[in-house]
Structure 1
Amino acid sequence: MHHGFTEIDVEVDDGFVIVTPEGAFNVEGVREYETQFLKKIKPLMGKTWGILNVYDTYETGGPDVQDMVRKQFMWSCAHGCAYLGFVVNNPLHEYAARVTTKDVEGLKEMRIFRDHKEALEWMRESISKANNT
């Protein structure tokens, strides 16, 4: 999906969603992402699930964008998302991850990684344990 400066890939893995934003984030891009996200997570509803955000080329966004991302995490955690993971490569991404997930009700665990493989292993193991699979 491409909108303005933003391209966002959303894929469903085994019990969780991998979100890979690329480029600068804007409000329109977040709205478009939310529509795609809601369609993709339907098979996860009624289960415990997670979101793995891969911030390799993410350029964040302003306060309005960060507020929208936080609200999306809050909605997700109110609807079964218990795990949020972030693959980051700079301190700004780490800061954004911490701010957008601070005190989100229903969130069991949030972790920040620098390594993709480690993040995927953590998410797969967490979701498997949570759903006893």
Structure 2
Amino acid sequence: MAKQHGHTDITREGQLFVCRPQGGFNMEGAQEYEQTFAREVVHIKDQPWAIMEVLQQFEAASPEVMARIGAQFTWCAQNNCRWLAVVSDSSLMQHLVAQYLGESGLEIEVFTDETHALEWLHQKLESSTSEPESLTGS
């Protein structure tokens, strides 16, 4: 097995994940990220949830690894993740987000600072919990 390259610091606060990928990623680094998510998502997937990806320390990955990362975000959408806030001031990172995550099924916004990203996500999460439940039958 190849040595892992890339690591993501992941914290979860309620229905919100904050992820800080660091370095250049190979497939093993992407798989470690997936495993961490899979263990945590089981605790929250019954309600809508969100992710903030802070890409300031993310360097890059091969097209195959980026496709794998894109598939991970599609998996998140299939497990009730609804919103992704990406924090990056790099036009290259913004291009990669559009190319590999654009078809994930998530509502994605790109921000240049964490404060605005968190405000947007908290607003989305709060509005999802304040929506009235639909009533069926009569």
Whether the TM-score (by the shorter chain) exceeds 0.5 is yes
1:56 is paired with a residue of what secondary structure? Answer: coil
Matched AA of 2:61? G
2:43 is paired with a residue of what secondary structure? Answer: helix
Contact 2:25 2:65 in 1 (8 A): yes
Corresponding position of 1:13? 13
> How far apart are residue 4 of structure 1 and its match?
3.4
Corresponding position of 1:119? 117
Contact 1:74 1:104 in 2 (8 A): yes
Corresponding position of 1:91? 91
Cα-to-partner distance string for 1:67-115 (whole Å, 9 max, x where unaligned): 001100111101101101100021111111111222323x2x2100001
Matched AA of 1:73? F
Equivalences, count: 129
Contact 1:8 1:20 in 2 (8 A): yes
> How far apart are residue 45 of structure 1 and its match?
1.0
Contact 1:16 1:44 in 2 (8 A): no
> How far apart are residue 125 of structure 1 and its match?
1.1
Cα-to-partner distance string for 1:42-75 (whole Å, 9 max, x where unaligned): 2211111111100011012010111001100111
Q: Output the CA distance in 1 between the equivalents of 2:129 and 2:99.
A: 28
Matched AA of 2:112? R
Q: TM-score, normalised by structure 1?
A: 0.90
Corresponding position of 1:59? 59
Corresponding position of 1:47? 47
Q: Output the CA distance in 2 between the equivalents of 1:123 and 1:60.
A: 25
Matched AA of 2:43? P
- In structure 2, list runs of 5 or more residues that go unmatched: 132-138
Higher Cα Rg, which structure: 2
When the two chains are superposed, the root-mean-square deviation of aligned CA atoms in Å is 1.5
- In structure 1, list runs of 5 or more residues that go unmatched: none
Q: Percent identity?
A: 25
Moved over 6 A (4+): none
Q: TM-score, normalised by structure 2?
A: 0.87
Residue 124 and residue 14 in structure 1: after superposition, are their counterparts in 2 closer, same or farther (change >3 A)? farther
Corresponding position of 1:128? 126
